[in-house]
Amino acid sequence: MRVIEMEARSALVKSGLGGVDYVVNPYTGCRFGCAYCYATFMSRYVSEPVEEWGEYVYVKRNVVELFERELARMRPERRTRSIFISSVTDPYQGAEAKYRLTRGVLEALAREQYPGSVAVLTKSPMLLRDIDLFRELPDFEAGLTVTSGEDEISRWLEVHAPPPRRRIEALRALNEAGIRTYAFVGPLVPHFVERSELLEDLFARLAEAGVRRVYVEHLNAKGYIRKRLDAVVAKQPELVRAAYAEARTREHRARLEQIVSELIERHGMELRLGAVIDHPESETRRRP
Ligand code: SF4
C-alpha cells in the first residue's frame, strides 16, 4: 500500500450526480479497493494502473486550505447548495486517521454554519470520530454503504473495507446520537435474487439499527467496472457466477426491485430518489 502526498488545484467540484451540487474528494484512490468500484477511472488522473486500485492513496494535503478559500468566495445565493463528501473515494479510509482532511473540511463547514445540505458517505465507522461536527451542521446527513448483512459475502467484494456488521453498528451509534442517517445499499449483490433471505436479513438489520432512509443501487456493469469484477467473480461458486452473468438483464433487475420494494414497505423505510438507482448503459443484454 502506497500513500503519496500531493497538492490539489481545487477542493469543491461541481457534481454530475443527481441531487448533488458539489463534491469534495480529499483523496484520490481508495484503500478499500472494492471489486465493483466505479471510481477506478480516477486512476488515470494520477497516472496509476487501474489494476492497482486499492493499492495506493493520493493525499491532497492542501485540500482543507483550498476548501476554506473556495467556501469564503462562494456567493451567498450559492450557499444553499448541497455538498457531498465523497463521490470517488472513501472520506474515512485509513489515511484519514492521520491526515484528518475530511474532518478539516467539516470543521470549515461547521465554522461557517453552512446552510445548504451536507452529506457524507463511507464504509468506515471512523466517521463516529466526527459526531461533534455533525451536530454543529444545520442540515447534515451521515450515510454508510452496506452491501450485505453477512460479512462472508462482502469479504471478496470489499476486501479491505470494515465488515458490514461494524458499519451497521456505526449507523446505530449515529442514530442514538441523534444524527440523521441513511444507508446506501449498493450495489445490490446479484445473488440476492436466488437468496432473497440475505437481502431480507440486511434490511432487518438496518431497520433494527434505526435506519429509516435508504438509497438502493443496481450493479453498474459498465465495461471498465466489469473487467475488475469478473476476475473476482470467476473464483466464486457457480451459483454466484451465474447470478452475476444475469445481473445485466432487465428481468433480473426487475426481480431485485420487487424484493426491495417489499422490504421497504415491510420496514416502513423511505426509498430515496423514489426508485432503485440504475445504469441504463449496463442494461444492454436481454435474456434470450
Ligand atoms: S469504498 Fe467506495 S470509493 Fe472506495 S473502493 Fe469501495 S466503492 Fe470505491
User: How many whole angstroms from 31 Cα to the centroid of ligand 1?
Assistant: 8
pLDDT in tens, 49-89: 998 999 999 999 999 999 999 999 999 888 889 999 999 99
Average pLDDT over residues 132-147: 97
Distance 73 CA to ligand 1 centre (A): 31
> How far separated are the first and last CA of the chain, in Å rounded?
44
Distance 81 CA to ligand 1 centre (A): 25
The model's pTM is 0.94
Q: Which cell numbers in the block locate residue 131?
A: 459526531
Rounded distance between C-alpha atoms, residue 221 and residue 223, angstroms = 6
Handedness of CA 134, 139, 145, 151 (dihedral sign): positive
Among 40, 123, 167, 220, which residue has the most ligand 1 atoms within 8 Å of its CB, making it the best to mutate?
Answer: 123
CA of 32 to the centre of ligand 1 (A): 6
Please tell me the predicted confidence (pLDDT) of residue 284: 42
What pLDDT is attached to residue 154?
67
Q: What cell numbers appear for 182 in the block?
A: 441513511
Residue 27 near ligand 1, beta carbon < 6 Å: no
Q: Where are the domains of the chain?
A: 1-145, 186-288
Q: Are strands 56-60 and 83-85 parallel, antiparallel or unpaired?
A: unpaired
pLDDT tens column, 212-250: 999 999 988 888 888 888 888 888 888 778 888 888 788
Pocket test for ligand 1, best of 32, 36, 185 (most atoms within 8 A of CB): 32
Give tens-digit pLDDT for 151-178: 676 678 898 999 999 999 999 999 999 9
